[in-house]
Amino acid sequence: MGCFSFKKYHPHTRYKSLFSGRIRDAHYAYYHKVLDLDQRRVIRVQTAEKRDEDFIFEALERRLDVIGEDLVSIIVSEDDLELLSWSRNEKDDIALIPFYPSPSDFPAGLPKVRRSQLTEIDRLAAQTDHTTYEPSPGHGPKHVVFKYYITEGNIVSFWHELNCTLRIPNHLNIVPLDCLVIDSATPGGPDKVVGFTTPFIAGGTVWDNVSRTFTLAHLNQLTKTIDYLNLQLGIVHGTINSANLLIDPETDQLKIFNFSWGAKLGWEGDKDHEGAVYRYDEHRNDIKMAVFAVYEIITRDLSFGPGNDASMVLEKETWEKAAEVRLEEGVDVAEYRRVLDEWVALRKPLDAVYTHYTQTPQHIDWPSVPEFPLTESRGTIARHRALWRSELTKRGEPFIKWQRPPTAELPLSRGKRLLATGEIVDEDPQFQSMISPVPYEYRWK
């Protein structure tokens, strides 16, 4: 359990500075409000002088995994990053609890699973975990990817990504929705949708796992699936790259996943909230991004992205295949380039016809984010997207909690398992025998 470690990566992968500011008339006046994506907690870090994120994150790297889980604020020294003081006081708690939609805000009949039914296996990325659950008693655990949000800044993007994912018809080359993940702040309280699951495809992404052969069939599956998304459904993926492509080891089918940067073709975005969310960006069109994806698969060169023009790759005299990359036997790089060039040429007249998602024959659409409820916060009653945790605690109002042990404390001792709620529970021996140890093919490499 927990073979992914945030400690393997740069601190900027684990920590996000949500806000920085200054406390009036305080000696340690400067602070950063930091989200720790590993423990799923927010903490304030104060210093006497204004310091950048690198300094703040280094201080947390040294201290956060060993200080109390209930601390909400710390003060560190300027020279040696010494922990000078800490606080559990509500007045120092600057965490916010975000709004979560209700199951009734989504189409009826969608499958659901409770967050407490999910067991954490691995931490794949920010707010994305490999988990398992038992679909029905007596059946083996189902491996799924659990995607969720824990801050108010992700409310709108989560809504659009989930609604897009659940409305895409079943397709052999697109990872589908598995379940809505529901939870409540108290037992028996109103359920909220806190995330969703998709099937876990073993073996890692195309970028991560170069031991598999990338064939012409995979290339054709990629281009045809992009055609289906763009020209039939009016959906643009937005981040077609080797890290968002999988190859199913059981079917040898390429699969596209992760619509977090998706868009409705030609759409101006969700103007009722953050207009940039799911707004079509020509710089992220799937044709260009697919060109870069195929180039990076073959060459392992990640130099090109949304800010570049596809011609920079298409017109390159040679693509140097990386030594570790495996292409189809008997097929050289020139053939991959020929197939790609033909597809790009075929798309040009079609893209001139289809400029807006409503023009496509099976276009999908969905409503805007539900209206936030009227709530009281800091003396005002308004439609707040998030509430101060300190106020909820003071009023005795329950809220959904996310904090969990750090990767440094994993794996757990035999006989224990970690739920997606962050709780550690005693292991059911029968369940334990079915999922532990986690075999290589289920690990995200």
- The DSSP annotation for 280-336 comes to --GGG-HHHHHHHHHHHHHH------TTS-THHHHT-S-----TT-EE-TT--HHHH
Looking at the structure, do residues 104 and 77 belong to the same domain, yes or no? no
H or E stretch at 221: helix 216-227
Domain end marker among 59, 94, 129: 94
Give kind and range of the element (H or E) at residue 346. helix 333-353
Residues 362 and 269 in one domain: yes
pLDDT attached to residue 329: 97
State whether 128 and 230 are in the same domain. Answer: no
Q: Indicate if the alpha-carbon torsion angle 71, 72, 78, 84 is positive or negative.
A: negative
* Neighbouring C-beta atoms of residue 54, cutoff 10 Å: 11
- pLDDT (tens digit per residue) in 272-286: 776 678 899 999 999
Compute, in degrees rounded to 10, the torsion defined by CA atoms 319, 310, 287, 368: 130
- Flag whether 160 is in a domain: yes
The answer to the question of residue 395 being in a domain is yes
Please check whether residue 1 lies inside any domain of the structure: no
> 353 burial class (0-12, 13-18, 19+ CB within 10 angstroms)?
exposed
Classified as helix, coil or strand, 244 is: helix
Distance separating alpha carbons of residues 147 and 16, to the nearest angstrom: 18
pLDDT of the residue at 417: 95
Residue 247 falls inside a structural domain: yes
Burial of residue 197, with CB atoms counted within 10 A of its CB: 0-12 exposed, 13-18 middle, 19 or more buried: buried
Inter-residue contact 326 to 211 (CB < 8 Å): yes
Q: Is the same domain home to 118 and 188?
A: yes
Furthest CA-CA distance within the chain? 72
Q: Please indicate, yes or no, whether residues 293 and 340 belong to a single structural domain of this protein.
A: yes
CA end-to-end span of the chain, whole Å? 14
pLDDT score for 441? 35
DSSP summary character for residue 170: P
pLDDT at 444: 31
Q: What is the pLDDT of residue 183?
A: 98
Nearest to 291 by CA among 322, 275, 312, 318: 312
Q: Does residue 381 form part of some domain?
A: yes
Query: Are both 104 and 174 inside the same structural domain?
Result: yes
Using one digit for the tens of pLDDT, what is the confidence trace for 95-126?
999 999 999 999 999 999 999 999 999 999 99
3-state helix, strand, coil in the chain (%, to 5): 30, 25, 50
**Residue 321 forms part of a structural domain:** yes
pLDDT given at position 275? 66
Tell whether 175 and 212 lie within a shared domain.
no
Note whether residue 60 is domain-resident: yes
User: Does one domain contain both 78 and 188?
Assistant: no
Output the domain CATH number for residue 108: 3.30.200.20
User: In which residue ranges of the chain is pLDDT below 50?
Assistant: 1-3, 433, 435-445
* Same domain as 214, residue 126: no
Of the residues 322, 347, 366, which one is the last residue of a structural domain? 366
Q: 324, 341, 366 — which closes off a domain?
A: 366
In this structure, are residues 230 and 198 in contact, taking their beta carbons and an 8 Å threshold? no
Same domain, yes or no: 285 and 311: yes
Positive or negative, the Cα torsion across 434, 439, 441, 445?
Answer: positive
Strand, coil or helix: 120: strand
Query: What pTM was computed for the model?
Result: 0.93
**Of 39, 189, 173, 31, residue with least CA distance to 100:** 189
Clarify whether residues 20 and 157 are in a common domain. no
DSSP string computed for 248-260: -TTT--EEE---T
Domain with 87 in it: 6-94
Same domain, 335 and 416: no
Of 44, 143, 163, 152, the C-alpha closest to 377 is 152
How many domains is the chain built from? 3
